[in-house]
Every structure is written in structure tokens, then in C-alpha cells.
Amino acid sequence: MHTITFLGTSAGVPTRTRNVSALALQLENSKEWMLFDCGEGTQHRIMNTSLSAYHLSRIFITHLHGDHVYGLCGLLASKGMQRCESALEIYGPPGLRELLENVMHLSQLNLPFDLKIFEISEGTLLRYEGFKIDVVALSHSIVSFGFVISFDDRPGHFDAEKARSLGIPEGPLFARLKRGESITLPDGSTIEGSTLVGPPTRGKRIVIGGDNDAPLLFAPYAPFDLMIHEATYTQADFDRLPRKFLHTTAKQLSLAAEQMGVDHLILNHISPRYDKNDRISELLDEAKRYFSGKVDIAYDFMQIGV
């Protein structure tokens, strides 16, 4: 099972209990992990988990607002101090390369590992072993992206007992049958692997959204097992704002999630006003009025399995 750890769940500025945006995804049966956004102080949050910057392999930045990116250079410097030599990939919007290269040059940050910076755009498709990531352009005051992570289907259950009853010895022949291949036994009979393997299990699909006031932009990739998306305000608070910001409300997000067939919805990027006045329940209550699936509000160090 893959593990998601919320490292920062506040919008704009940190609070006493929430840091600014960052989220970790650790791959199943591996020390390797990936980071989505890196607000100021993210490396301090990492130090309070079982994660290690040494095993961080990829970073994905949704957009270049400070609460999503100001912790990046400090994290790179600390990773370098650990004498890590494996390459680190960073993906983000145009301007990311200029930002990093200027800070590294002016602060004389020399890294012992190869830093690979990729500037992404709408429609970018990233493929890795076991999963792929679609990049989705969002609606915000600055170029902002979301990431749809689709894990590969898992092979169906292999009926080892039936294979033994057919006289097939364990070992390489079992492995071939598990892959769905056909084998020929010494007596000349042929066994089709498909007769011993059940139907595949559909790979999970999750959404990690950047700042965005139009969650239905993810609809072409629906349905989703898990959607993590900002819900910065309740609808009533947003309606009272003298200046409107391009953020999503709990109502707006929940209506969209219901339409897209989301199984589990997690509200993230929470305005500090709800922490200061102990009003978190207002966001959750609003979401539950418009979404019939499982819904939670993210908090720092919250972990879920995928």
C-alpha cells in the first residue's frame, strides 16, 4: 500500500497547528518517496516523520506562490548536506528553473547530486514504473497545475493450489503462469496461464490539486478513488470577501466531487481563519451537505493508505 502524509495543510501562512502546503507520497514496499509542493518549513515537518530527504526522488510543484515553494531551496541544501548522490527530479511550471538557478547561484549552493528540472505544461504525461501522472492546468491567479496519479492495474490472484493439482512444479513455471503465459508440460499438455489467474484489480486513481477555483477541470480524468483538493473557505465566508480570490469553497468542491464520482474526498489548503476560531467543523459540515461519499479535512501529519 502506498502512503500519503500531509506535511502542510494551511493556506497562505502557517498557523500553530498547520504548516503551509506540502504532501508526501511514499511508494509501496520502498523507501523512495515523492513530494508535492514545498512551502516554507517543509523540511522541519519531514524531520517529524519517518521520511528521509535522502530517499526523496521527485518533487512536483503546483505553482510558484510562496506558500507552495519557499521551502524548496532549504530542502535541497539539506539533502545535499546528507551527501546524497542519486539524482533528484523536480517538476513545476515555467519559471521554476529560473527561480532555482538564481537562488543556487547567488547563495553558492552546490549540490552533490544531479538536479533535473522539468518545466511542465497542460497535457504533460509522466510515466514511471507502476504508475503515470497526468498534468492538468487549473484556474488560479498564477499558472497552477494539478496532478492525476494513475497506478497500474494489479495482476489477478494466482490459484497456486490448482496449479499444483495439475502437476506443475513451483518455480519458473509458476512465474510464467502468473504472467498469463502458456506452458507445455513434459507429457505434452499445454496449460494456459489465463485459466489460473483471476481478473486484474483496477489500479487506484488519485488527484492532488494545486490552487484552483474550478475543480471540474479534473472531470475528463474521473472517476477517482481519492481527491485531495483545496477548500480554502466555506461558501458563506467566500461570498462575504470584499476581494475575491481564485480558490475553491467546500460547497463548490463537494458538488464537483459528487459529479465526478469521487470515493474519498479530502479538503486541504485550509484558511487560517478556521483554526484561529475553532471553526473547522463548518468546512466539514458544508462538504457533507453536498457530497455523499467519505469526506475528511486534512491536518498536518495525517496519513492515509492508497
Active centre residues (catalytic) = 67
Q: Are 303 and 3 within 8 A, CB to CB? A: yes
What is the C-alpha end-to-end distance of the chain, expressed in Å?
A: 6
Cα distance between residue 51 and residue 220, in whole Å: 33
Positive or negative CA dihedral for 297, 15, 229, 26? negative
Strands across the sheet with 294-297, in order? 125-128, 131-137, 145-151, 205-208, 226-230, 264-268, 294-297
Q: Which residues are CB-neighbours of 22 under 8 A, at least 6 positions away? A: 6, 7, 8, 35, 36, 37, 38, 39, 42, 45, 71
Q: Which residues contact 52 (CB under 8 A, 6 or more apart)?
A: 31, 46
| The three three-digit cell numbers of residue 264, written as one number | 474519498
Q: What's the rounded Cα separation, in Å, for the pair 145 and 210? A: 6
